[in-house]
Amino acid sequence: MENMDKDIQQILLTEEQIQSKIAELGKILTEEYADKNPVIVGVLKGVVVFYADMIRQIKTPCQLDFMWISSYAGANSSGKMLVRQDVTADIKGRHVLILEDIFDTGNSLSFTVEHLLSKEPASLKICTFLDKPERRKPGVTLQADYVGYTIPNAFVVGYGLDYNEKYRNLPYIGILKPEVYEK
Ligand code: 5GP
Ligand code: MG
């Protein structure tokens, strides 16, 4: 059996650190969305693990929905986005919360926000588990309303995040060994 842990150079966030941050965010989001019946939109696929943990800490009724936009190929974003699967809820006049795994260059989130705003929600906020502000593309002024952890400029995997579709099921967030990309 192949051990994925051997490809990890450094564990950046442990399972315990991840869960304690989610509990903290959960308290804030529960208060913010009490009695608002928000639509919580997950941006697939990277968000699935964070999404499943996060919604269970938002202790007020909510509706779940997902969007799938064109994926990040390898370690470099092409910058080109397309909606592969749209939300199914009618979000006009609804309070919408986007959950994202990571806010990197900002291409994905800018695209997602613009797309969802065109549907005229009552409000639209962003909660990203990870933020890499150093990587932001010039001209992106968008900011996340809620951030789990701000991390340095490194390519991370695990907890939903992949490298060529691998490592999403690691329970922690780690930095890959450089030789893994060079293979
Ligand atoms: P952005 O559009 O902000 O550049 O990137 C957003 C998407 O790129 C994320 O949802 C994620 O899929 C991917 N991404 C950005 N940084 C990383 C990273 O460090 N590791 C992994 N695995 N994916 C990343
Ligand atoms: Mg993503």
> Is 104 labeled as catalytic in the residue annotation?
yes
Residues 44-73: pLDDT tens digits? 999 999 999 999 999 999 999 999 997 555
Assess contact for 66 and 100: CB atoms under 8 A: no
Residues 6+ apart with CB under 8 A from 32: 125
The minimum-distance atom of ligand 1 relative to the CA of 43 is 10
User: Residue 74 — very low, low, confident or very high, per pLDDT cuts 50/70/90?
Assistant: very low
Find all residues with CB under 8 Å of 31, minimum gap 6, and list them.
none
Domains, in order of start, for the chain:
25-70+81-154 (3.40.50.2020)
Q: What ligand is nearest to the CA atom of residue 77?
A: 1
Say yes or no to pLDDT of 183 above 80. no
Write the CB contacts of 21 (distance below 8 Å, at least 6 apart in sequence): 129, 148, 149
Tens digits of residue pLDDT in 20-35: 999 999 999 999 999 9
Q: Is 107 in the pocket of ligand 1 (CB under 6 A)?
A: yes
pTM of the model: 0.93
C-beta 47 within 6 A of ligand 1: no
Banded model confidence at residue 182, pLDDT cuts 50, 70, 90: confident
Environment of ion ligand 2 (residues, CB < 5 A): 43, 46, 101
Beta pairing, strands 39-44 & 8-13: unpaired
- Phi and psi at residue 115, in whole multiples of 5°? -60, -45
